[in-house]
Structure 1
């Protein structure tokens, strides 16, 4: 079995309406450099499949070796409208940490 994102990063997530916001922090400077190449909007969207129906944007934050990942149309309309089990997107970070990186 190959490496996954959890091998080189930590993550937390939450929501604002129908947008899942995932914070990703590299475990060290070398991992941050690797994530600059690996953590692309296309790759994140492909990993989430049908969970994320809208645009994915990845904002690098080099001063803290982190990233802010925004996934739009990712929560079935938002916490008060969705029928999804994880209506506030708290599990999105765990799901992203399972993304293969090899």
Structure 2
């Protein structure tokens, strides 16, 4: 399963720093995303576009994960001619991250 099956992403960028926020479609998926979508996995998944550190911030009251990606290649949005370094492009790429749900039963939302 891919991350986009479970969540959506918002993005922003300033210079060579991009911010990516991941929100599960359903609140009960937040623990699964917290386990699977680590800073290391995001850094590895975006390695072609992000040369620096990726820092993850958990926002449990919002059921969100916020990633700050440093050293976006080609200088980021303000100096690059490549669309792929823009935050929106990075957020779309992040949503293609494979998520392993095979060993975790997904809890059902309360009805």
The two structures have a TM-score, normalised by structure 2, of: 0.82
Q: Hey, what does 1:52 align to over in structure 2?
A: 50
CA contact (8 A) 2:16 2:73 kept: yes
Question: What is the 5 A alignment of 1:7-86?
Answer: 7-86=5-84
Task: State how far apart, in whole Å, the 2-side matches of 1:48 and 1:73 are.
Answer: 11
Return the match for 2:4 from 2, 6, 13.
6
Cα root mean square deviation, aligned: 1.4
Structure 1 residue runs of 4+, over 6 Å off? none
| Structure 2 gap segments, 5+ residues each | 101-111
The structure having more radius of gyration, on CA atoms, is 2
The two structures have a TM-score, normalised by structure 1, of: 0.88
Offset at 1:86?
3.6
Aligned length: 100
CA contact (8 A) 2:8 2:22 kept: yes
CA contact (8 A) 1:75 1:89 kept: no
Matched residue SS, 1:76: helix
Task: State how far apart, in whole Å, the 2-side matches of 1:62 and 1:95 are.
Answer: 23
| Structure 1 gap segments, 5+ residues each | none
Offset at 1:14?
1.8
Task: State how far apart, in whole Å, the 2-side matches of 1:87 and 1:35 are.
Answer: 24
